[in-house]
Structure 1
Amino acid sequence: MKLELGNFHVKDIQFGDVSKFSDGILYVNKEEALAVVREDEHITDADLVIAKPGDETRIVPVKEAIEPRFKVDGETPAFPGVTGDVAQAGFGRTHALKGCSVLAVGKHMGSFGDGLIDMSGEGAKYTLFSELINVCLVADNDEDFERNEQQKKNHALRWAAHRLAEYLGSIVKDDEPEEIEVYELGQMIKRDKAVEELPSVVYVMQPQSQMEEMGYNDLYYGWDLNHYVPSLVHPNEVLDGALISGSFMPCSSKWSTYDFQNNPTIKRLYDEHGKTLNFLGVILSNLNVSLEQKQRSAQAVSKLAKMIGADSAILAEEGYGNPDADFIACFVELEKAGVKTVGMTNECTGRDGQSQPLVTLDDMADAIVSCGNVSQLIKLPPMKTVIGELEALARDGLSGGWAHDEILGSSVKEDGSIILENNSMFCGDRVCGWSPKTMKEF
C-alpha cells in the first residue's frame, strides 16, 4: 500500500473574497466555509476565528483538532465513514495543509473531554497546538439533551469541524504540493533478507473506546471502537483519516484526529524501517470496561503479534486510570509471549506526586516512557483575548478545572487568570510520541 502526502506549508491564514493558496498564505472565504459548517441543521450559531502562534489568546473549551486534508481523486472522502461513505484509506494521493489545524471550540457548552490552548506565554509549552495556525470553529448547537451533562458527544460540532477541514483541504486539490512524503509498506512476509534479519517491531495502539453508549468513542472508518476486536491495520490508514478522535477522555490524555494523522511514532518507525528495524505494521486494539473484556483484547493482541513474527512492540494507551488495566494486561501478555515491549503513557500521581502513577502495575512492565503527570497544577496569567468561553473551564466540569476548591477557590479568577490541572491542557501529554517533557531526579 502506497500513500503520497502532498504537503503545502502554510505560513499564514487570512480571510478573503476567494479561497485559494498563494505564496504560503491560505486565503479563506469565510461565508463559503461557514456554509459547509451549517450543512448540519443542529449547528445554531457559528463563526471562524484565526489564532496564531504568539497571539495573547486563550482558547477554551477545545473539543477536537484536525489537519486540513483532501483526497485528490475526488471520490474518496478525507475521513471515510465521517465526511463521506466508507472507502479504503491509506493509498493514493492526499493533499495536506501543514502548520495549521481546525479546532472545534464550544461557544458555551464545555465537557469533561474538552481542553485549553494558550497561544503564547507559559501555557503555550503545554500543547503542540500553540505552535500551529488554528482556524477556530466557534459554534453552538441545539443538542439540548446533553447541555447539562458533564460528558458530551459534541457530535454536531466535531462533525462540522471535519467537514471544514476537508473543505480547507480542497482549496489546494488542484495545486502542486511543495513536497511529497511517500509511505509505502509492503507485505509482512517474504521481505528482503537484509530486512528480515533486523529486529521486527509492531506498534500497538489502544485508542479510547470505554463508553458503552455509542457516540463518545474513537472511530475506525466511522465504526465505534467499543464494538471492535484487536486487528491488524496498515499504518497508512492511521495517517490517512481512517481514525477519528472521540469526545471521551480527560483532555491532556486525548489523541485528537490531528495526532492520528501525524502520528510521530509511525513516522519514526517508517524512517527506521530497513535500517535498524523491520516495521511490521499496527495492531489496533481498544480500551474496555470489564476485566474479562480487557483480558480478551490483551490476549488477542499477543496472539496477533506472535503470528506476524514480532520480536518487539511499542504499546501506547489513550488515557489513564481505568485504561491502565488494559495497558498493563496487554503489556504482560506480550511479554509472556516473548515480545519485548516498551510502553508509552502518562501518569496520575496526584498533585503532590505521591500517588501510584498507574492504577495497576506488573513487574513485567519494566520499560515505560512517561509523558507527564495529569494532576500537575498549572497557574497561568490572564490573556488579552479568549476564544470560546473562559467560564467553561470552571463551570462545565472540564477534567482539569473546577468551580470551587476549599483552598484554591475557582479555576477561573476575577482577573482572568486561571489555575488548573494539566488534565485540561488540550492533548498536552502527546502520548503519540512527540512529548517534549523529560524526567527530573530529586
Structure 2
Amino acid sequence: MKLEIGNFYVKDIVFGEKTSYANGILTINKEEAIAVVKEDDHITEADILIAKPGDKTRIVPVKEAIEPRHRVGGGAVFPGVTGELSAAGNGKTFALKNCSVLVVGKHWGGFQDGLIDMSGEGAKYTLFSQLQNICLVADTDEDFEKREQQKKNHALRWAGMRLAEYIGSCVAELQPEEVETYELGPITERPQEVQALPNVVLVLQPQSQMEEAGYNDLVYGWDCNHMVPTYMHPNEVLDGAMISGSFMPCSSKWSTYDFQNYPMIKRLYREHGKTVNFLGVIMSNLNVALEQKERAALFVAQIAKSLGAEAAVVAEEGYGNPDADFIACIVALEDAGVKTIGLTNECTGRDGASQPLVTLDEKANAIVSCGNVSQLIELPPMETVIGELEALARDGLSGGWSDDEILGSSVRKDGSIIMENNAMFCGDRVAGWSTKTMVEY
C-alpha cells in the first residue's frame, strides 16, 4: 500500500467570507462552518472560537481533537464513520498541519474530558497547546447524558469530524507544500537487505473496555470491543481507519488526531530499511474479563510469530484495568520469543509511591514510562476560558473534584486550579509525542 499525505502548513487562522487556504492562512466562514455542525438536530448550540499558541486561554472540557483533512478523489476522511465504508491507507489525502479541530463542551464535561492551557506552565503538558486550535464549543439535547459522569458525546464528536472534513475540503484543488509518502510492500516481497534487518511489529491496544456501544474506539466504524486482534497496515491507522472513543481518563486517551499522526508509526517508518524491517501493526483491544485478556494476548503472540517478528513495541491506551491486557500481551510475546518493549503511563498515586501498574511480571522488563497520571498540577488563572471552567470541578473529570478535605475544590474562586495530570487532554502522549523524562534517584 502506498499513501501520500499532502501537507499544508497553517501559520494562522482567521474568520472571513470564504473558507479557504492561502500563504499559510486558513480562513473560515464561521456561518457555513456552524451550519455543517448543526446538520445534526441534536446540536442545540454551537460556536467556533480560535485558540492560538501563547494565548492566555484555558480550554475545558475538551472531548476530542481531529486534524482537518480531505480525501483526494472523493470518499469520507473517516470511512465507515462519516461516509460509506472504503479502504483507507492507499492513495492521496490532504492534511492541514499545525492545527486541529477541538470539540469542547459548552457546559457538560465528564470522566473522559480534559483541559488544555495555551500558555504558561500548563502548556508544556499537552501537544495541543502548540497547535492553532479551531474550538467547536457546543451543547446538545442529549439530556440523559448531561449529568452522567461517563458520556458517549456522539453528536459532539461526529460534529467535530464533519467540521474537520468541511475545513479540509478548502485545499481540494490546491497543490500541497510537502508530500509525505508511506509505503510498505508485502512482507515476503521486500528486498533481501531489508528482510535481513530485525523484524519489528507495533502492537496497539486502543480503548475498548465498554461493553455498551458508543464509548469505545472504532476501526472502520466497528466497535473495537467486538474485534479480536488483527493485522493492519500502518497506513490505515494514519489515514482515518481509527477513531477515538469517549472513554478513559483524559490524559491517557488517544485522540483521533493522535491516530492520524501516530508518532511511533512514523518513527518505525523512518527506521524501516535502515535499522529495522517494519512488519506493520497488530491492532489488539482492551477487554473486561480475564479470559478475554488472555485470549487477546495469545492472538497477538500468534500473529507476531506468524509474521516473523523478532521484536515488538506494545502501547496501551489507558491504565488500571487495561494494565492486565498490556502485561499479558508483553508476557505472551516474550514467551513466544519476541523481545518486547512497552509504552504506558503509570498510576503511582499523588505521592508517587504506589505500584505503577495494576499487574506486573518480571518478563515486562523494558517499559517506557510516560509519567504519573496522579501527579498534582497547580495552574494560575487564565484571562480567557473556552468552554466552562466549573466543569473541571463539577462534572467528574478524572483529574478534577468538587471538594477535597485538604485541597478544596479543583477550581478556586480566583480561577486558578489544582488537578491531577489525569485531566490534561491527551497529556501522557503514549502515542509517542511525550517530552517527559525520568529521573533516577
Common fold by TM > 0.5: yes
Report what 1:70 is aligned to. Answer: 70
Report what 2:176 is aligned to. Answer: 177
Give, in whole Å, the separation in 1 of the partners of 2:94 and 2:193. Answer: 33
Report what 2:382 is aligned to. Answer: 383
Following superposition, the deviation at residue 190 of structure 1 comes to: 3.1
Report what 1:437 is aligned to. Answer: 436
Q: Secondary structure at the match of 1:171?
A: helix
Following superposition, the deviation at residue 256 of structure 1 comes to: 0.2
Give, in whole Å, the separation in 1 of the partners of 2:181 and 2:278. Answer: 15
Give, in whole Å, the separation in 1 of the partners of 2:189 and 2:419. Answer: 52
Report what 1:269 is aligned to. Answer: 268
Report what 1:260 is aligned to. Answer: 259
Q: Secondary structure at the match of 2:279?
A: strand
Indicate conservation of the 8 Å contact 1:101/1:134, yes or no: yes
Following superposition, the deviation at residue 161 of structure 1 comes to: 0.1
Report what 2:240 is aligned to. Answer: 241
Deviations for 1:32-73, whole angstroms, at most 9, x for unmatched residues? Answer: 111110000000000000000000000000000000011011
Following superposition, the deviation at residue 441 of structure 1 comes to: 2.1
Report what 1:402 is aligned to. Answer: 401
Indicate conservation of the 8 Å contact 1:204/1:284, yes or no: yes
Report what 1:371 is aligned to. Answer: 370
Following superposition, the deviation at residue 188 of structure 1 comes to: 1.1
Amino acid at match of 1:405: D
Following superposition, the deviation at residue 126 of structure 1 comes to: 0.5
Deviations for 1:369-397, whole angstroms, at most 9, x for unmatched residues? Answer: 00000000000000000000000000000
Report what 1:127 is aligned to. Answer: 126
Aligned length, in residue pairs: 441
Which residues in structure 2 correspond to 1:128-143 (within 5 Å)?
128-143=127-142
Report what 2:199 is aligned to. Answer: 200
Q: Please, what is the CA RMSD of the aligned residues? A: 0.5
Report what 2:33 is aligned to. Answer: 33
Q: Secondary structure at the match of 2:157?
A: helix
1:331 aligns with 2:333: no
Give, in whole Å, the separation in 1 of the partners of 2:109 and 2:9. Answer: 32
Percent identity over the alignment is 74
Indicate conservation of the 8 Å contact 1:72/1:174, yes or no: no
Q: TM-score, normalised by structure 1?
A: 0.99
Give, in whole Å, the separation in 1 of the partners of 2:433 and 2:126. Answer: 10
Amino acid at match of 2:4: E
Amino acid at match of 2:132: I
1:19 aligns with 2:13: no
Amino acid at match of 1:105: V
Give, in whole Å, the separation in 2 of the partners of 1:10 and 1:345. Answer: 31
Q: Secondary structure at the match of 2:187?
A: coil
Amino acid at match of 2:19: S
Give, in whole Å, the separation in 1 of the partners of 2:214 and 2:341. Answer: 31
Amino acid at match of 1:187: P
Amino acid at match of 1:186: G
Report what 1:4 is aligned to. Answer: 4
Following superposition, the deviation at residue 159 of structure 1 comes to: 0.3
Give, in whole Å, the separation in 1 of the partners of 2:188 and 2:111. Answer: 44
Deviations for 1:382-421, whole angstroms, at most 9, x for unmatched residues? Answer: 0000000000000000000000000000000000000000
1:46 aligns with 2:50: no
Q: TM-score, normalised by structure 2?
A: 1.00
1:312 aligns with 2:307: no
Amino acid at match of 1:61: P
Give, in whole Å, the separation in 2 of the partners of 1:126 and 1:272. Answer: 27
Report what 2:154 is aligned to. Answer: 155
Give, in whole Å, the separation in 2 of the partners of 1:206 and 1:301. Answer: 10
Give, in whole Å, the separation in 1 of the partners of 2:113 and 2:187. Answer: 39
Report what 2:55 is aligned to. Answer: 55
Q: Secondary structure at the match of 2:81?
A: coil
1:302 aligns with 2:301: yes
Query: 5+ unaligned residues in a row in structure 1: which ranges?
Result: none
1:102 aligns with 2:101: yes
Indicate conservation of the 8 Å contact 1:62/1:117, yes or no: yes
Indicate conservation of the 8 Å contact 1:230/1:300, yes or no: yes
Give, in whole Å, the separation in 2 of the partners of 1:229 and 1:132. Answer: 35
Amino acid at match of 2:349: G
Query: Bigger CA drift: 15-24 or 396-405?
Result: 15-24
Report what 1:166 is aligned to. Answer: 165
Following superposition, the deviation at residue 146 of structure 1 comes to: 1.0
Report what 1:293 is aligned to. Answer: 292
Give, in whole Å, the separation in 1 of the partners of 2:189 and 2:55. Answer: 53
Give, in whole Å, the separation in 2 of the partners of 1:394 and 1:247. Answer: 19
Give, in whole Å, the separation in 2 of the partners of 1:337 and 1:389. Answer: 50
Report what 1:90 is aligned to. Answer: 89
Report what 1:424 is aligned to. Answer: 423
Query: 5+ unaligned residues in a row in structure 2: which ranges?
Result: none
Stretches of 4+ moved more than 3 A in 1? none
